[in-house]
């Protein structure tokens, strides 16, 4: 059975702090690792990683994949209150494109 595990489950920081969110995965026919941000409702896409060692960056967010260790991290630098959300990691695999196995999420709370 495919499995994605995230840590920590929750994190409370102050504005300006840097955070690192972790994701380990075991996904059959693994194709890619995706990060989503979930605020009130729908998960919104952040990154898709397919190759080891290549950092993806978008503003203050960055992510990297280690396919040997089956692990990914999401870094957020200079956190802002608007970064408060649930961050979801998902492994894409299986027989159909886009079948995602999600982790339980990391709840990030950024205090002013």
Partner 1 sequence: EPEVTQTPSHQVTQMGQEVILRCVPISNHLYFYWYRQILGQKVEFLVSFYNNEISEKSEIFDDQFSVERPDGSNFTLKIRSTKLEDSAMYFCASSIPGQGKTEAFFGQGTRLTVV
> Which residues of this protein are in contact with partner 1, per CB under 8 A?
31-32, 34, 36, 41-45, 48, 50, 88, 90, 92, 94-105
CB 90, min distance to partner 1, A: 8
CB 18, min distance to partner 1, A: 26
What single string gives the DSSP state of each residue in the chain? --EEEEE-SEEEEETT--EEEEEEEE-TT--EEEEEEESSSSEEEEEEE-STTPPEEETTEEEEEETTTTEEEEEE-S--GGG-EEEEEEEE-SSSTT-EEE---EEEEEE-
- Could you tell me if 13 and 21 are in contact, meaning their C-beta atoms sit under 8 angstroms apart? no
Using the minimum distance from each CB to partner 1, give the nearer residue, 71 or 102: 102
CB 92, min distance to partner 1, A: 4
Using the minimum distance from each CB to partner 1, give the nearer residue, 58 or 95: 95
CB 62, min distance to partner 1, A: 17
Using the minimum distance from each CB to partner 1, give the nearer residue, 63 or 101: 101
């Amino acid at each position: 059975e495919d499995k994605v595990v995230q840590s920590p489950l929750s994190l409370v920081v102050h504005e300006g702090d840097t955070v690192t969110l972790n994701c380990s995965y075991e996904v059959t026919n693994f194709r890619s690792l995706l990060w989503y941000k979930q605020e009130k409702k729908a998960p919104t896409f952040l990154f898709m990683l397919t190759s080891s060692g290549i950092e993806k960056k978008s503003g203050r967010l960055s992510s990297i994949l280690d396919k040997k260790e089956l692990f990914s991290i999401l870094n957020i630098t200079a956190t802002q209150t608007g970064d408060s959300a649930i961050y979801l990691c998902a492994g894409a695999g299986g027989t159909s494109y886009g079948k995602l196995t999600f982790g339980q999420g990391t709840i990030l709370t950024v205090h002013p």
